[in-house]
Amino acid sequence: METNVPKRKEPGRSLRIKVISMGNAEVGKSCIIKRYCEKRFVSKYLATIGIDYGVTKVQVRDREIKVNIFDMAGHPFFYEVRNEFYKDTQGVILVYDVGQKDSFDALDAWLAEMKQELGPHGNMDNIIFVVCANKIDCAKHRCVDESEGRLWAESKGFLYFETSAQTGEGINEMFQTFYVSIVDLCENGGKRPTTNSSASFTKEQADTIRRIRSSKDSWDMLGVKPGASREEVNKAYSPRRPLVSHRWLPVSLCLFPACCFTRPISSMWLNLWFLAMVWAP
């Protein structure tokens, strides 16, 4: 099997890694890299033509890391150029613009493109992905909220950061955590370290939240037919314990009408209801 892990080096010795950026055109990939490497922001849009390449050195614990950054063009026109650059990568910076829903929805397609180019023997489990929800300075135009982005990223085992290449917010923390995770991965024999964030979601929790978010009404939210009786709701959940305990069912059923009468569902009700449903002891 192919491996992305660079040849083992002694601790303390230098390490060379390859990092690529991915995401739709104009989401800010090049600006994020420039902000970190050159400490500046370019407001004029200069589309990347194919690939931009740069080398930088960073220090992680006692190791000097030489980072080869391949900044990819997001425009579909450059597919033929960038498809050569996916292999032998240890880290991916996956960027979307919080004001462009399309760019968030496109993240799955970017992963699919990478998977396809790596081929059947390529392994994406030994790559560190960091998702950058970029342009958070444009709060007025924001249409993808933090919980949605974080959920998508963490349910896949990816890191998630809110960033602004313009103000610099989140950029240093993002790169620092990203590089530390890559070094941990290299020192861990190529296995992605488990995320220790208490805010992270399991796949089951993420699927539940996604279903709730996309449900058309409150019955759909519970996954039962409209007008279902209490017994039917009970029955629908009993095989899937531990979703609702008997002790907590009255609480969630009390909150449920609140969800019905406050459409669109406010995030407060959704959170309360969700807590009662999923995290009930």
- Binding segment for ligand GTP (CB under 6 A), chosen from 4-12, 37-45, 195-203, 241-249, is 37-45
Return the one option of ligand GTP, Mg ion, none that residue 75 interacts with (CB less than 5 to 8 A, by type). Answer: ligand GTP
Binding test (CB under 6 A) with ligand GTP, winner from 47, 109, 143, 254:
47
Which helix (H) or strand (E) covers residue 34, if one does? helix 29-38
Contact flag: residue 26 with ligand GTP (CB under 6 A): yes
Q: What are phi and psi of 116, to 5 degrees?
A: -60, -45
Strand partners, 20: 70, 92
**Count of residues interacting with ligand GTP (CB under 6 A):** 24
Q: Rule CB under 5 A: which residues touch Mg ion?
A: 29-30, 48
Contact flag: residue 48 with ligand GTP (CB under 6 A): yes
Binding test (CB under 6 A) with ligand GTP, winner from 15, 19, 30, 67:
30
Contact flag: residue 45 with ligand GTP (CB under 6 A): yes
Looking at the Cβ atoms of 166 and 205, the one nearer to ligand GTP is 166
Instruction: Enumerate residues 155-184 that contact ligand GTP by CB under 6 A.
Output: 164-166
* DSSP category for residue 55: E
Question: Do residues 125 and 192 touch, judged by C-beta distance below 8 A?
Answer: yes
Long-range pairs, 139-147, Cβ under 8 A, ≥24: 141/99, 142/98, 142/99, 143/98, 143/99, 143/100, 143/101, 144/96, 144/98, 144/99, 144/101, 144/104, 147/267
Q: In the bound complex, what is the minimum distance in angstroms from residue 136's beta carbon to ligand GTP?
A: 7
Q: What tokens appear for 213 in the block?
A: 């978010």
Contact flag: residue 214 with ligand GTP (CB under 6 A): no
Question: Do residues 189 and 5 touch, judged by C-beta distance below 8 A?
Answer: yes
Which helix (H) or strand (E) covers residue 92, if one does? strand 91-97
- Binding segment for ligand GTP (CB under 6 A), chosen from 9-17, 19-27, 197-205, 230-238, is 19-27
Q: Which residues bind ligand GTP (CB under 6 A)?
A: 23, 25-31, 42-43, 45-48, 73-75, 134-135, 137-138, 164-166
